[in-house]
């Protein structure tokens, strides 16, 4: 996110004359300085000279479109600014838009207010004219209201900046689909062309044999070095020769997969346990470790979740709490204390772990391969969300459910995978019912780091349907 920029465009018009316009520019620069100095925004805000007429607005929008580092545009109406002169520029804008309904002065100078003050500080007036044209043109934008020093307003702006950063990532993201779909599973299938038109990301299939070749090229010293890293990071309770040999195979897989993904330029991947030709175990540990490094992942060929996970990793950059692939697995239906247990066969991201993960080897029971290595851990209690992207006949739908993560009722000594226990909000029955009615997948992205508001902003920017359950 280091180079991400947001253009700050101030609207006015020539009518006011040189002196007020100089004041408008100075006030805008002041706000931009304060926004950048606040430490609350995850991208740099870049001041842009005041736009006063149609030609200047068209040129500013072109500039925003062409700048690869510009991930969005904030507009502010210092004064009244007739909106017909905005139409041609707004038609061109291809970056996310936020309308900041703010004003330079926080308080009205009641006893001194005169018409000069009124003319210079009429955001309330200008906001409505700008809002009308955006609505009239059907433009998706976020409207944030409040003084530019208000922490709530800044938090709302940062949520949008994060959603815009995710959208920016989506435009160039490549998803490597290693193998195809788990046979007969419906929700993980879909139209990759429709997804690229909607989201910008490209999903392409690669033969698992190409990955196997990369794995075979990894040297023993490279495996030794990665194994040393595992020993430092994780508890390894079973050091039998069989377990250590499986862990070393998993380390080789991780190194091979990394080199493969770098080679094809992918920041997200899918695997499927039904297509492992040339691999001796399902890559569990490798996918967990790749996720922890920011890669998107989807099991069983689930490219929609893989892409969404990568996008949400970008949105959560620098925030506490982690982001993981997740699956609704099993219910606890004790009356009044209902919960769901989320886990996966192997691939849960250690970024959401409560404590130091344990690196273990257990048989998988399906797939007919060797017992795979995996990181096992629980998650801390607190609020989180589950998000699922599904494809309907002619559109995509994002389903977001706020969940309350709780401690398991007892230790789970026989469960050999990472897991988490949650209560869907607003209550178990409503949350589960609405998720199912909306068509939410069994795969989801789980994160305590992102708010429903960020996901709402993302859905608006992406132009897709949103079902919010909270
Ligand atoms: Mn699954």
d(CA 33, CA 421): 44
What pLDDT does residue 16 have? Answer: 84
How many angstroms is it from 418 CA to the middle of ligand 1? 14
The predicted structure's pLDDT at residue 1:
55
Give the distance (Å) from ligand 1 centre to CA of residue 294: 20
The candidate with the shortest Cα–Cα distance to 339, out of 381, 305, 291, 281, is 381
Ligand 1 mean position, distance from CA 175 (Å) = 18
Average pLDDT over residues 227-235: 98
Flag the least confident range among 12-26, 31-45, 191-205, 241-255. 12-26
Separation of 256 CA from ligand 1 center, angstroms?
A: 23
Q: How far is CA 370 from CA 363, 367, 444, in A?
A: 7, 9, 27
β-strand 268-270 against 174-178: which pairing, if any?
Answer: parallel
161-194 pLDDT, tens digit each:
999 999 999 999 999 999 999 999 999 999 999 9
At CA 50, angle to CA 48 and CA 56, rounded to 5?
A: 90
Q: Which residues contact 386 (CB under 8 A, 6 or more apart)?
A: 326, 328, 342, 400, 401, 403, 422, 424, 435, 440, 444, 445, 446
Is residue 195 within 8 Å of residue 304, measured between CB atoms? yes
Element (H, E) at 5: strand 5-11
pLDDT per residue as tens digits for the range 389-424: 999 989 999 999 999 999 999 999 999 999 999 999
Distance 237 CA to ligand 1 centre (A): 27
- pLDDT mean over 248-263: 98
Q: What is the pLDDT of residue 366?
A: 79
Task: Give distance in angstroms: CA of 306 to centre of ligand 1.
Answer: 12
Measure the CA–CA gap between 212 and 175, rounded to whole angstroms. Answer: 18
Our CA angle for 412, 415, 420, nearest 5°, is 70
Please say whether the beta carbons of 265 and 310 come within 8 A: no
3-class DSSP state for residue 193? helix
- DSSP assignment string, 306-340: HHHHHHHHHHTTT-SS--EEEEEEEEE--TT--EE
Task: Encode pLDDT of 84-99 as tens digits.
Answer: 999 999 999 999 999 9
146: left (phi over 0), alpha (psi -120 to 50) or beta: left
Beta strands in 12-53 (DSSP E): 44-47
d(CA 444, ligand 1 centre) in Å: 9
Q: What is the distance in A from the centroid of ligand 1 to the CA of 305? A: 11
Of the candidates 434, 428, 349, the residue with the CA atom closest to the CA atom of residue 397: 434
- Cα 299 to averaged position of ligand 1 atoms, centre (Å): 6
Main-chain dihedrals φ then ψ at residue 142, nearest 5 degrees: -100, 135
CA 443 / ligand 1 centre spacing (Å) = 6
Quote the ligand 1 centre to 324 CA distance (angstroms).
13
**Ligand 1 centroid vs 217 CA: distance in angstroms?**
29
Q: What is the pLDDT of residues 363-395, one digit of tens each?
A: 998 778 899 999 999 999 999 999 999 999 899
Q: What is the DSSP letter of 140?
A: -
pLDDT band at 463 (very low <50, low <70, confident <90, very high): very high
- Residue 326 CA, ligand 1 centroid: distance in Å: 8
Q: How far is the CA of 22 from the centre of ligand 1 (A)?
A: 59
CA 196 to ligand 1 centroid distance, Å: 23
**1-26 confidence digits (pLDDT tens):** 579 999 999 988 888 889 989 999 99
pLDDT, mean of residues 208-221: 97
State in Å: Cα 5 to ligand 1 middle: 37
Count CB-CB contacts under 10 A for residue 249. 22
Distance 442 CA to ligand 1 centre (A): 7
C-alpha distance across the termini of the chain, in Å: 29
From the CA of 188, how far away is ligand 1's center (Å)?
A: 9
Query: What residues pair up with 358 in beta bridges, in sequence order?
Result: 235, 376
Using a 10 angstrom Cβ sphere, with 0-12 exposed, 13-18 middle and 19 or more buried, the burial of residue 150 is middle
CA of 269 to the centre of ligand 1 (A): 14
Mean pLDDT of 30-50: 97
Taking the whole predicted model, whether its pTM rises above 0.75 is answered as yes
Provide CB contacts within 8 A for 154, sequence distance 6+: 35, 38, 40, 41, 148
Mean pLDDT computed over 234-248:
97
Q: What's the distance, CA 230 to chain centroid?
A: 27
Residues 6+ apart with CB under 8 A from 364: 273, 282, 345, 346, 371, 372
What's the CA-to-centroid distance between 273 and ligand 1, angstroms? 10
Q: 310 phi and psi, to 5 degrees?
A: -60, -45
Cα(274) to centroid(ligand 1), Å? 12
Q: Look at residue 206 in the predicted model and tell me its pLDDT.
A: 97
User: Does pLDDT of 224 surpass 80?
Assistant: yes
| Alpha-carbon gap, residue 71 to 4, rounded angstroms | 6
Predicted confidence (pLDDT) at residue 115 exceeds the cutoff of 80? yes
Distance 232 CA to ligand 1 centre (A): 30
Q: Find the 235 Cα to ligand 1 centroid distance in Å.
A: 26
């Amino acid at each position: 996110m280091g180079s991400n920029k947001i253009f700050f465009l101030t609207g006015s018009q020539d009518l006011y004359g040189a002196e007020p316009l100089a004041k408008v520019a100075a006030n805008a620069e002041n706000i931009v300085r304060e926004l950048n100095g606040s430490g609350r925004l995850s991208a740099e805000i870049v001041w842009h000279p005041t736009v006063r007429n149609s030609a200047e607005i068209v040129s500013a929008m072109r500039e925003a479109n062409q700048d690869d580092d510009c991930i969005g545009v904030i507009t502010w109406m210092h004064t009244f600014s007739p909106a017909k002169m905005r139409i041609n520029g707004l038609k061109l804008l291809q970056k996310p838009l936020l309308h900041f309904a703010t004003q330079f002065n926080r308080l009205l100078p009641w006893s001194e207010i005169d018409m000069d003050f009124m003319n210079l500080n009429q955001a309330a007036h200008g906001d409505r004219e700008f809002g009308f044209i955006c609505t009239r043109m059907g433009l998706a934008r976020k409207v944030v209201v409040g003084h530019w020093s208000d922490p709530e307003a800044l938090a709302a702006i940062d949520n949008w900046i994060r959603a815009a950063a995710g959208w920016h990532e989506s435009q160039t993201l490549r998803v490597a689909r290693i193998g195809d779909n788990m046979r007969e599973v419906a929700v993980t299938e879909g139209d990759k062309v429709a997804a690229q038109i909607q989201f910008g990301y490209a999903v392409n299939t690669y033969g698992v044999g190409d990955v196997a070749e990369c794995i075979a090229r990894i040297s023993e010293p490279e495996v030794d070095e990665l194994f040393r890293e595992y020993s430092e990071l994780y508890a390894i309770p079973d050091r039998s020769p069989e377990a250590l040999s499986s862990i070393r195979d998993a380390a080789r897989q991780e190194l091979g997969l990394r080199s493969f993904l770098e080679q094809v330029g992918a920041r997200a991947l899918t695997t499927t346990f039904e297509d492992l030709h040339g691999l001796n175990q399902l890559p569990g540990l490798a996918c967990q470790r790749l996720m922890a490094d920011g890669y998107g992942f989807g099991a069983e060929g689930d490219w929609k979740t893989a892409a969404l996970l990568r996008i949400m990793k970008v949105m959560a950059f620098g925030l506490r709490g982690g982001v993981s692939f997740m699956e609704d697995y099993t219910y606890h239906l004790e009356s009044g204390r209902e919960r769901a247990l989320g886990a996966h066969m192997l691939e849960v991201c250690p970024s959401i772990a409560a404590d130091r993960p344990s690196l273990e080897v257990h048989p998988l029971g399906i797939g007919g391969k060797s017992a795979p290595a995996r990181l096992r851990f629980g998650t801390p209690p607190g609020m989180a969300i589950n998000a699922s992207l599904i494809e309907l006949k002619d559109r995509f739908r994002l389903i977001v459910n706020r969940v309350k993560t709780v401690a398991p009722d007892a230790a789970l000594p026989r469960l050999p995978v990472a897991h988490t226990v949650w209560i869907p909000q607003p209550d178990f029955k409503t949350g589960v019912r609405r998720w199912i009615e909306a068509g939410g997948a069994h795969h989801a992205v789980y994160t305590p780091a992102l708010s429903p508001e960020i996901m709402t902003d993302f859905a608006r920017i992406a132009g897709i349907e949103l079902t919010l359950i909270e």
